[in-house]
Structure 1
Amino acid sequence: MTSLRIVTAQINPIVGDIEGNTQKIIEAMASATAAHTPQLILFPELVVTGYPPEDLLLRSSLKHRVERALARIAEASAEAYVVVGYPRVAEEGLYNAAGVFFRGRLQCEYYKQCLPNYRVFDEKRYFIEGREPLVFDVFGVPTALSICEDVWEKAPTSAAKAAGAQLLLNMSASPFHAGKQAEREALLAQRAWQGGMPIVYCNLVGGQDELVFDGASMVVSKSGELMARSPAYVEHLGCVTAHWNGKRLVFDEAEITDLRPVLEDVYETLVLGVRDYVEKNGFKGVVLGLSGGIDSGLTLAIAVDALGAERVQAVMMPFRYTSSMSIEDAEAQAELLGVEYQCLSIEPIYESFMATLADEFAGTAVDKTEENLQARCRGVLLMAISNKKGYLVLTTGNKSEVAVGYSTLYGDMAGGFDVLKDVSKCRVFELARFRNTRSPAIPQRVIDRPPSAELAPDQKDEDSLPPYPILDKVLERYIEHDESAETIIEAGYDRDMVYRVLRLVDLSEYKRRQSPIGTRITERGFGRDRRYPITQRWPIGD
């Protein structure tokens, strides 16, 4: 009977930082060896470059930089097999590759067979497909490699089984969306049963622009039983022990971190998305406009949880239409969370703009122009603070608003990162209530009051939009499920309302192209997921 200790090295690389990522890999190898004396260490997909490297893969220096990194990894390898993901430049093209390092050299190499080209994935733009399974010997255990999408399709597992594998390793860069972990576990159970062998799955962790990789690496038995689950959202070296009798491999049950409710996972995803975007891009902190409303209130709480109160600044920018309740609630929340807080009136700035524009506006009626000007005064102030302090401006628009264009270009859309860009208004309320279960963060009055942009007297969001519970259901059907207007109407929604909402979504594409990125939490966010032309005459809702 042979015993194997296998470590899943769930780490957080930075895209393009090949030297830094390589050092992180080598340090993880040393830590795993010191703590567990493993026989095998498994890293995530493309960990050397970070994922997704996108057009960095087209750089002429890629081959040299990767080969130099692999030489360092090989030199650091010793008595444990180390499996690392990287791009391999070959004569015929570029592969998404995994290398097996042992005792100072590269032993063998596997090329990803299934290249995803849907939703946020665009791998066929860069890579060519591998054709063959790889089965190598790990102290007597026939072991196969697969990379991320390979395990979502049947063929690679079947080929590995036919080649004699008794253990399947899967290195992944699988981004989060709500409910994704349950999907992964069901899939791995199915593949393990199909292949008649256990699967060790190592997932990337960390934020990369709008994507968040949540980790939660796993081991499942040949019957599909979960044997180990690493914690999500943190770097982690998970260790499992397997026993090989020459015919079958049996895993001891190891640490199984509890699954969290989906709402809590969504919140942690938003926190990690902010933290890594700020840290990896070198910002000193963040600044945001705190209006006394629920969107900015939730954004502030997420920012504090991501970075600490000392790196967060909140600015209330009242105008004549701003209620005293909003000013009181903004100040109360800033005090609750302990952030730097200023109250800067935009009244004199607005009046100066209006005086300058007096001749241009002469003889015209007051309309949305004056409302938008208020928002743009606020955007100017926030961007000035950003420039002066090296802070990232967080915008606070939610997915419902971004969808229908209920926002102002160069005003409340001015900034570098939109924390709630993929969070519907109804989910904003859910997340705010959830956050308050941890500690007081968002005044209850902020959650209870009707949403308002406060750009005009007694203004309410529902003066311009359908009630959010209805609007969000229509938007989900149209944006995330691609349902037509008539299909949505058949589900019981008012015809005129549906066509009006869908028209707003289509017309607002030009705004979304100019909006900040934001963390993706659904299967269809704005950005990498959804690519619609701005100039087009496709029939509304067809």
Structure 2
Amino acid sequence: MSGKFRLTMAQLNPVVGDLAGNRAKALAAHRAGRAAGADFVALPEMFLAGYQPQDLVLKPAFTAHAMAEVRTLAADCAEGPPLGIGLPWAESGRLYNVYAILSGGRVTAIARKHHLPNYNVFDEPRLYASGPISGPFAIGPLRMGTPICEDAWYDDVTEAMAESGAELLMVSNGSPYRRNKYDVRMNHMVSRVVETGLPLVYLNFVGGQDDQVFDGGSFVLNPGGRLAVQLPVFEEVIAQVDFEQGAAGWRALPGRLDLLPEDTELDYQAMVLSLRDYMGKSGFARALLGLSGGVDSALVATIAADALGPENLRCVMLPSEFTSAESLEDAAAVAGALGCRLDSLPIEAGRAAIGATLAPLFKGRAPDVTEENIQSRLRGLMLMALSNKFGEMLLTTGNKS
């Protein structure tokens, strides 16, 4: 027996709540897959709603809108390969995190997430009902199992799918980044491949959403745990993966193998992408920050310049009589190297006015940390005034931010 199967992996960046925009992105991915001769186009977990939608899914109107959008998407994708996409789904008084298969102009199948994570940033049992383990779906020449994210971190869902005839596991994910997360994912997925003897596609989306950032880094494993495809991290990409069927079953052919950066570079890319998406998805194009000449503000300025472009960053030096010449020189050097605007806004007059206003109540008390804190709070006030006046988002430069 022999056969061929082409899968389009759409590692894309959705926006939480932008149902029409996410549908448009999915449709563009489908058209790219159709043009490439794909047999199936896959998008990640909860892509239509964006991830994590959190309590948005508790609004019946939102979930109903998502379900209407997926039916519109199905009609738009009637010509060409089936498409898989995640979304919230309400039925029989329950809400599910599902992976929908769209084919021939309609929603032809639904897989419901079985394992609902309740740790770290996840609180899915509060939002969704646990669905039954789904069997595989016939997609072209093969039968595909579709575990949803956490379902592939345990052996029961994938083994049940394999026992009921799955020939390929297509795992859709909304897995946020943290240091060493890739190794954790890979270890779990290799275990699933070894246990089932099936090839596995791990498709994760990319992008920042509030306090979370998703790194992509999607990959494909063959039985035995051999890596066949590795997509880049922190980048949108639509990639084609070819499978061939032989006597031992389906196997992924070798494809693109992007190198993963080391930990510090991964952390840096996460900060750049999360800032870019936080601002872009919130409607801000420009940012400002206080540039002191120190390491913390220099690093934040560098992240912002890479995320937004130096032309969209304003740096502000807020010197007092205690500011050293070296700090002024270092701040100017950073702004010059980055190519961003640098304004100087001395705070001494304001600090003196506040000191004079407080003097009658402070009479008889020695200067202490109170007077020192006036400087930092005055700087914050002036930076916020600039932010309000010019519509530029203020970035904090504390070393834990």
* Residue 245 of structure 1, CA deviation: 4.2
Secondary structure, aligned partner of 1:255: coil
Give the alignment's Cα RMSD to 1 decimal. Answer: 1.2
Structure 1, residues 435-475: CA drift from partner, whole Å, max 9, x if none?
xxxxxxxxxxxxxxxxxxxxxxxxxxxxxxxxxxxxxxxxx
* Residue 247 of structure 1, CA deviation: 6.0
Q: Is the 8 A contact 1:151 1:170 kept in 2?
A: yes
1:60 aligns with 2:60: yes
User: Match of 1:518?
Assistant: none
Mapping for residues 38-117 of structure 1, pairs under 5 Å: 38-77=38-77, 78-117=79-118
| Corresponding letter in the other structure for 1:7 | T
User: Match of 2:222?
Assistant: 221
Q: Distance in 1 between matches of 2:50 and 2:217?
A: 18
| Corresponding letter in the other structure for 2:72 | R
1:131 aligns with 2:132: yes
Q: Which deviates further from its counterpart, 36-45 or 236-245?
A: 236-245
Q: Distance in 1 between matches of 2:321 and 2:15?
A: 45
| Corresponding letter in the other structure for 2:290 | G
Q: Distance in 2 between matches of 1:59 and 1:23?
A: 22
Q: Distance in 1 between matches of 2:125 and 2:48?
A: 19
| Percent identical residues | 38
Q: Is the 8 A contact 2:67 2:88 kept in 1?
A: no
| Corresponding letter in the other structure for 2:85 | V
Secondary structure, aligned partner of 1:31: helix
User: Match of 1:467?
Assistant: none
Structure 1, residues 206-257: CA drift from partner, whole Å, max 9, x if none?
0001111011111000111110011111111111100124761011100010
* Residue 97 of structure 1, CA deviation: 0.4
TM-score relative to the length of structure 2: 0.97
Q: Is the 8 A contact 1:15 1:52 kept in 2?
A: yes
1:347 aligns with 2:348: yes
User: Match of 1:325?
Assistant: 326
Q: Distance in 1 between matches of 2:192 and 2:68?
A: 35
Instruction: Give unpaired runs (5+ residues) of structure 2.
Output: none
Q: Distance in 2 between matches of 1:374 and 1:385?
A: 17
Secondary structure, aligned partner of 2:146: strand
Secondary structure, aligned partner of 1:260: coil
Q: Is the 8 A contact 2:289 2:315 kept in 1?
A: yes
Q: Which deviates further from its counterpart, 97-106 or 246-255?
A: 246-255
Instruction: Give unpaired runs (5+ residues) of structure 1.
Output: 400-420, 422-542
Q: Distance in 1 between matches of 2:212 and 2:269?
A: 13
Q: Is the 8 A contact 2:318 2:344 kept in 1?
A: yes
Secondary structure, aligned partner of 1:109: strand
Q: Which deviates further from its counterpart, 55-64 or 122-131?
A: 55-64
User: Match of 2:386?
Assistant: 385
1:336 aligns with 2:337: yes
Structure 1, residues 150-187: CA drift from partner, whole Å, max 9, x if none?
11112111111121211101000111111111222222
Q: Distance in 1 between matches of 2:399 and 2:118?
A: 27
Structure 1, residues 109-146: CA drift from partner, whole Å, max 9, x if none?
00001111101111111011112223111223121111
* Residue 64 of structure 1, CA deviation: 2.4
Secondary structure, aligned partner of 2:395: strand
Q: Is the 8 A contact 2:285 2:392 kept in 1?
A: yes
| Corresponding letter in the other structure for 1:140 | P
Secondary structure, aligned partner of 2:266: helix
User: Match of 1:122?
Assistant: 123
Q: Which has the higher strand share?
A: 2
Q: Is the 8 A contact 1:112 1:130 kept in 2?
A: yes
Q: Distance in 2 between matches of 1:53 and 1:275?
A: 19
Secondary structure, aligned partner of 2:268: helix
How many residue pairs are counted as aligned between the two chains? 399
